[in-house]
Amino acid sequence: MVWALPCLWMSCSSGAKEYIRNTGRIFGTYYSVVYQQPDGVDLQDKLEQRMQEFDRSLSTFNPESVISRINRNDTAVRTDAYFEAMYAVAGQVSCRTDGAFDITVAPLVNAWGFGFGNGDRQSAPAVDTIMPYVGHGKIKLEHHRLLKDDPRTMLDASAIAKGYSCDVMAALLEENGCRNYLVEIGGEVVCRGANPQGDKWRIGINKPIDDETNLVNEYETVVNITDAALATSGNYRQFYYLEGKKYSHTIDPRTGQPVGHNLLSATVVAPTCMEADAYATAFMVLGKDRALQVCESVPGLDCFLIYADEAGENQVACTEGFKKYLAR
């Protein structure tokens, strides 16, 4: 997970407007938006209204959302702009990662007890009975309708929607004249321009310490960044133990199994947070070496990976392009 480090607020004697900070709870997590609006207008109401619109499209916890209605095979539902933009990027990431990212993973995530279903976590699920209706190639979008080869196929956009919601908030800020801002939702970030001190934004990347409480926030490193999006995926927040074995929430859609390799967290910088979020999840499925290969093959993408070596000690690896963000 990544966190925007606290800023010292300042008033500029040159007449520049002070920065506004809005915080709250949304999508089952917390958001923080820091921005400089030319007319000094507080945009919190507009931001939350836009997020409610987004929720009605892509939240699997909202029974009346577009994606929820698709999951229960409501024949009257039509896809909207939010869903279709998500679907397009999800397909691109799936292709570029050999299927490591796949929004049809929902039945597997639910079966393992991590999704919006009722997995009981008392025994390993019968994965072989689920795999026949998992796979991006088993769905298609035509004329604002999502078509399934099998009605049991369900979608889970949680590994891409949170990042996308940051882009949506950033777009609203842009519409309202903001050129200096940072949007953070549950650790995913979009930033532009300068912070209140006139510098790049400082973002902390957490150490991957097993912690289901989300209260431990020790930083592995800090990045200085602007005009970019940043997202982190890891296996140290959501997991459980069954018969002495640890099961993480990251499910490989190609095998149906929780990942078990030595990659602990993946932080991705991308042009959009929707892309950063999706690739970070895919990299957790692919593992360190393949993740670096894929990252270096996609224009505009960089990553910072934390992994355990053979002795169990944490090590880091990153693309050459990511090094420019590391705080000196």
Per-residue b or e along 186-217, where b marks 16 or more CB atoms closer than 10 Å to that residue's CB = bbbbbbbbbbbeeebbbbbbbbbeeeeeeeee
The predicted-structure confidence for 204-253, as pLDDT tens digits, reads as follows: 998 886 555 455 568 889 999 999 999 999 875 554 444 454 555 688 99
Whether the CB-CB separation of 278 and 284 falls below 8 Å is answered with: no
Q: Which CATH architecture has domain 1-328?
A: Roll (3.10)
Nearest to 261 by CA among 287, 295, 293, 242: 287
DSSP state letters, 89-144: HHHHHHHHTTTSS-GGGHHHHHHTT-SSS----SS---GGGTGGG--GGGEEEETT
Going from N- to C-terminal start, the domains of the chain cover: 1-328
The predicted-structure confidence for 42-99, as pLDDT tens digits, reads as follows: 999 999 999 999 999 999 989 999 999 999 999 999 999 999 999 999 999 999 999 9
Alpha-carbon distance of 87 to 232, in angstroms, equals 20
The tokens for 59 are 């939240």
